[in-house]
Amino acid sequence: MQALTERMGRALGRDVPGLVGLFVVILVVFGLTTPHFLSAANFGSIAFQLPDLGLLTLAMLAPIMSNGINLAIIATANLSGLTLAWILNMNGGPQAGVFAFVVGVVAALAVGGASGAAMGATIAYFGAHPILASLAMMIFLRGLGEFLTRGGDISGFPDFLREIGHGSILGIPAPMVVFIVAAVVWHVLLARTRHGFSVAMIGSNPRASEYSGLAVKRSLTLVYALSGVMCALAGIIMLTRFNSVRVGHGDALLLVTVLACFLGGVDPFGGFGRVAPVFVSLLILQTLSSGLNLLGASQHLSTAVWGLFLIAVMVARSSTLRTLAAGFRRSETGQASR
């Protein structure tokens, strides 16, 4: 068992076993205290609600690994959704066909990628701080969206979009399938490719990375461009789930994506992060929210509990690091005395 745990830790991340154990504890606690928690209907609800937050968290993951942040993920997702909605409405709205949808999806992904690339280029080539650059992009995209929609909703889409947002594939909700595929692609990209290696190196030490021959500026631009594409995918899924688009959709999820990353062991100062622990942390947060909801708690209480989780994780990791450092110092002292 220990060997299996070690192999899983090396392949997926050292935080996965502990997070899985925490997830099991939450399942047991809510299963004993809430009658309908361990039901197919509840797990189906969790699977339908998770992909929006999950895709946005993946979009946040890579910038944090590069020692940056993308505060424009919600605005990018909504503007990309508006792009798809506009193309559908220009082609008949409820009567729009599959071709119009495909063209709209491509355009939405292009808008997301372009906004991310512009932000990344500003950071990489002009030296703008990621917080300021992404904040400026967020304000711009949100303002543009408000101008285009006059602050209202856009709705009236073809019926087949409901099958994407509310349908299932082999018993698994279609949005969850999209999220799982995106998570696998993100894992391969960050853990198995040269780009992922570059992201980790840049996050650890950008100057040393440049001296070692890595294309730091190009890699940073690509990080934010791909983050924008993932935001656009989230915007498309939100459109199919809500059957409408509005600039304010998902505003409350911005800080939760950061929480999910840190709970999943992503280094807040860059250089390290894995998709698998973040995936499990998302399951923990969504399951916790569902359990509290079944107990009659409000969504505001769920948000407060998420914040307490982040504080507890930071305290636990700080204590662990101090313990390891103390053990290392004792080991060094013992070797020196010999």
CA distances from 90 to 32, 82, 86, 100, 101 (A): 52, 12, 6, 9, 11
**Is the dihedral angle over the CA atoms 82, 146, 94, 168 positive or is it negative?**
positive
- Residue 30 resides in a domain: no
The string of pLDDT tens digits covering residues 124-151 is 999 999 999 999 999 999 999 998 888 7
- Residue 328 resides in a domain: no
- Residue 66 resides in a domain: yes
- Residue 57 resides in a domain: yes
Cβ atoms 13, 263 nearer than 8 A: no
The string of pLDDT tens digits covering residues 9-52 is 555 566 788 888 888 988 998 888 888 888 888 888 889 889 99
The string of pLDDT tens digits covering residues 164-177 is 888 888 888 999 99
- Residue 270 resides in a domain: yes
Beta carbons within 10 angstroms of residue 71's beta carbon: 22
- Residue 138 resides in a domain: yes
> Could you tell me the pLDDT band of residue 295, with boundaries at 50, 70 and 90?
confident
- Residue 147 resides in a domain: yes
Q: In which domain, by residue range, is 58 found? A: 50-283
Number of domains within the chain: 1
> Could you tell me the pLDDT band of residue 208, with boundaries at 50, 70 and 90?
confident
- Residue 98 resides in a domain: yes
